[in-house]
Amino acid sequence: MIQSGVVELKEILSLEHVSFTYASEDVQESRKALEDISFTIREGEWIAIVGHNGSGKSTLAKLIIGLLFPNEGTIRVFLEELGEENLWNIRSRMGIVFQNPDNQFVGSTVQDDVAFALENNGVPFEKMVPRVHAALAQVKMESFLDHEPHHLSGGQKQRVAIAGALALEPELLILDEATSMLDPQGRDEVIRVVEELKRQTGLTVLSITHDLEEVLLADRVIVMNQGKVLAIGSPAQIFERGDELEAIGLDLPFSMKLSDSLQKEGIELNGNHMSEEELVNELWTSYFNK
């Protein structure tokens, strides 16, 4: 991605001044779930969206996939304005994985579930079989073809859900807290799979997450607060504003907190440490530099 500013990468998604309010009988209560959101995502980017509970992250995902429509502003997906007419076409070009592994498993076995989106889009049987196998191979679940959902772990179910999205060969993959209900091992499995995919296929990923490790993997981070975009930037830029993030109820990576505390204790360290490795490296070499 070391291209000069002249050659712009293809735009995948852009929001312009998008606002949304959930319809509610109680007028007093109807607060804007999203207010004046604008950003652009380009091909091959990995975007992380963070924000406190109720900051509108899921609402944003639902607008992008066309489950809800904005009250104000426009959403452009694949350079087309999202509307009722092109909704199904646009949906067939992106995949979304939700939080609860159980509630999005439609098929009675792993392969049925992966084929579900293909069936819906009228892909002929002969083409479905290789696609299902390929998608399952991408998430390393090819040996589970005939397994039933209740015999799979949460992480495995989420990988199947990702395979289900990949089977349609999407240009954009949205993960709405796809790892939040998993144990650390399941979370690692899923993140690793997405990372690998991104490297191999250059997929554009929009990941809504509370997991800081996932945030560090992203190219850019969008911080949401009370329905508004608070900041957009690289993970380093975002975590630099540590206090601000903590003020809106977000956590910081453990290494950053540690490095902060060490600095407060008077140990001289240079700048921020986003990963434990960076911090360890600085710490064990710090005496040599003296």
- Contact mark string toward other proteins, 44..83, x via CB under 8 A: ---------------------x-x----------------
* Binder of other proteins out of 27, 29, 125, 290 (CB under 8 A): 125
* Binder of Mg ion out of 55, 58, 111, 204 (CB under 5 A): 58
* Binder of ligand ATP out of 8, 38, 54, 119 (CB under 6 A): 54
**57 and 20 Cβ atoms separated by less than 8 Å:** no
Nearest position to Mg ion, beta carbon: 58
Report in angstroms the alpha-carbon separations of 38 from 60, 189, 222, 229: 11, 32, 11, 8
Instruction: Tell me the β-bridge partners of 94.
Output: 172
* Binder of other proteins out of 35, 112, 177, 189 (CB under 8 A): 112
N residues, the chain: 290
In the complex, the smallest distance separating the C-beta of residue 149 from other proteins, rounded to whole angstroms, is 7
In the complex, the smallest distance separating the C-beta of residue 152 from ligand ATP, rounded to whole angstroms, is 24
Based on CB atoms, which residue is closest to ligand ATP, 57 or 273? 57
* Binder of ligand ATP out of 57, 131, 157, 187 (CB under 6 A): 57
Based on CB atoms, which residue is closest to ligand ATP, 141 or 238? 238
Residues 6+ apart with CB under 8 A from 164: 95, 113, 114, 116, 117, 135
- Judged by beta carbon distances under 5 to 8 A according to partner kind, the member of other proteins, Mg ion, ligand ATP, none in contact with residue 19 is none
Place of tokens 């959101």: 37
- Judged by beta carbon distances under 5 to 8 A according to partner kind, the member of ligand ATP, Mg ion, other proteins, none in contact with residue 33 is ligand ATP
Residues 6+ apart with CB under 8 A from 4: none
- Choose one: 20-28, 72-80, 116-124, 267-275; the region binding other proteins (CB under 8 A): 116-124
Show the tokens assigned to 56: 């509108």
18 binds ligand ATP (CB under 6 A): no
User: In angstroms, rounded to a whole number, what is the distance separating the alpha carbons of residues 117 and 109?
Assistant: 14
Amino acid at 21: T
In the complex, the smallest distance separating the C-beta of residue 69 from ligand ATP, rounded to whole angstroms, is 14
Question: What DSSP element (H or E) covers 90?
Answer: helix 87-91
Burial 63-74 (b: 16+ CB within 10 A, else e): bbbbebebeebe
Sites of contact with Mg ion (CB under 5 A): 58
